[in-house]
Copies of this chain bind each other. A is one copy, B any other.
Amino acid sequence: MNDRITINTILLAHGGGGRLTHELVSKIFKSKFNNPILDLLDDSAAFEIQVGALNLTPLQLAFTTDSYVVKPFFFPGGDIGKLAICGTVNDLSMKGAKPLYLSAAFIIEEGLEISILKRIVDSMVQSAREAEVQVVAGDTKVVEKGSGDGLFITTTGVGVIEDKSLKISGSNAEPGDLIILSGSVGEHGMAVMNARHQFGFESEFLKSDCAPLNSLVTKMLETNQEIHTLRDPTRGGLATTLNEIAQQSKVGIFIDERKILVKEEVKGACELLGIDPLYVANEGKLVTMVKRKSAEKILEVMHTHPYGKEAVIIGEVKEEPVGVFLQTEIGGTRPLLMLEAEQLPRIC
């Protein structure tokens, strides 16, 4: 393992979305499960199922799973239940799929108040209604007190990719593409940290952006413009997502710091913690790379949607050098690296 100290045990950082998560995923999961669908490492897997005779068009499905371990359960703007629905709906949407059916598996620690569980399930029901998906399968396991942390929820989603000409993937960014970000960054992670540690920021101003993005994506797809990549910058934030795309597509991603919206309260909380908002998780934002000539039309429809009304072009894709580069407010350009270690544990 080159010049590093060999790591033999799982660290919190393995779950942080940064370099260690990527190493774990690629060295263990990707290399062992070893198949071309998993290898893409997009937000959702996509596969075809042949229906009837071989001359009929196969059905193209998207499939994604996420465990939610957020702490605390409730925070301004959302809760673990809302997150579990929206997160999985969004991962399907980021593959251009229409989310249809979800499963929900609950690992409950003995002693959890049933009233809390009910509140969380109510929130899931409400989010599922907004996203127009159905929770059709589930499971419940209970572990002894001290063997869990109240509640973990794993949701898995199935969606259909109706337009088979779509080729949306983190590996499809092309030199010349423009990069659109749907709104301000850093709210979700900072809202959860504020709720957990009670920094005292008013919850009215520091709220999670947690939202289902499928109706926004539908509007974007309906423009029939050329969309190459679609991602929601969750764990690890915008910087990590852009780094993943740069690696997958082998391109240079150049973004302008002055174009990226960060709310005042998020800036304040980030300064307090010494954290860069570009590395903080979002749960209701998307970043997309689109053909240059398509950008205007896509931006236009995004502005008509409540979850896209602050959408803005933040940069462009170049052939090289491979990586992410930030044009700073003072006019310089610096590489924006992948997060090394855990910054904000358990924010989703």
Task: Write the residues of chain A forming the contact surface with B, with a CB cutoff of 8 angstroms.
Answer: 7-16, 21, 24-25, 28-29, 32-35, 37-38, 44-45, 47, 49, 51-52, 56-59, 61, 63-69, 100-101, 103-115, 117-118, 121-122, 124-125, 128, 134-144, 146-149, 152, 154, 156, 158, 160, 345-346
What is the chain B residue whose CB lies nearest that of A342? B142
Q: A15-B141, A29-B138 are in contact. Are A158 and B63 (CB under 8 A)?
A: yes
Q: Is the CB of A138 within 8 A of B35?
A: no
How far apart sit A68 and B9, CA to CA, in the bound complex (Å)?
21
Q: Once the chains bind, are A140 and B110 in contact (CB under 8 Å)?
A: no
Evaluate contact between B142 and A14: CB separation under 8 angstroms. yes
Task: Contact check, B152 vs A61: say whether CB atoms are below 8 A apart.
Answer: no
Q: Decide yes or no: A142 and B28 within 8 Å by CB, A33-B125, A65-B156, A152-B152 being known contacts.
A: no
Each complex incorporates copies of this chain amounting to: 2
Docked-complex contact B142 and A105, CB < 8 angstroms: no
- Does A136 lie within 8 Å of B9, measured CB to CB? no
A154 shortest CB reach to chain B, Å: 4
B-side contacts of A14, CB under 8 Å: 108, 140, 142
Whether the pair A49, B59 counts as a contact (CB closer than 8 A) is yes
A146 near B146: Cβ-Cβ < 8 Å: yes
**A339 CB, min distance to chain B CBs, angstroms:** 14
In angstroms, how far is the closest chain B Cβ from the Cβ of A2? 17
Residues of chain B with a CB closer than 8 A to A33's CB: 104, 121, 124-125, 128, 134-136, 138
For the complex formed, measure the closest distance between the CB of A96 and the CB atoms of chain B, giving whole angstroms. 16
B101 lies within 8 A of A140 (CB): no
**A124 vs B104: C-alpha distance when bound (angstroms):** 21
Q: Decide: A103 near B10, CB < 8 A? Known: A38-B138, A49-B59, A137-B64.
A: no
A142-B38 in contact given A63-B136, A67-B107, A154-B105 (Cβ < 8 Å): no
Q: Sorted from nearest, which 10 A-B pairs have the closest CB atoms?
A: A15-B142, A156-B156, A65-B103, A154-B154, A147-B149, A45-B136, A37-B136, A45-B137, A67-B105, A33-B135
How close is A15's CB to chain B, nearest CB, in angstroms?
A: 3
Q: Contacts A45-B101, A100-B49, A139-B66 known; A9 to B112 CB distance under 8 Å? A: yes
In the bound complex, CA of A37 to CA of B125 (Å): 15
Q: A24 contacts which of B11, B56, B140 (Cβ < 8 Å)?
A: B140
Q: Are B101 and A134 in contact (CB under 8 A)?
A: no
* Chain B residues whose CB sits within 8 angstroms of the CB of A140 once the complex forms: 14-15, 21, 24-25, 29
Please, how many angstroms separate the alpha-carbon atoms of A73 and B160 in the complex? 36
Evaluate contact between B114 and A9: CB separation under 8 angstroms.
yes
Q: Once the chains bind, are A121 and B158 in contact (CB under 8 Å)?
A: no
CA distance A56 to B113 in the complex (A): 48
A9-B114, A141-B15 given as contacts; is B56 within 8 A of A52 (CB)?
Answer: yes
Q: Give chain B residues whose Cβ lies under 8 Å from the Cβ of A34.
A: 125
Residues of B within 8 A of A111 (CB): 9-10
Whether the pair B10, A117 counts as a contact (CB closer than 8 A) is yes
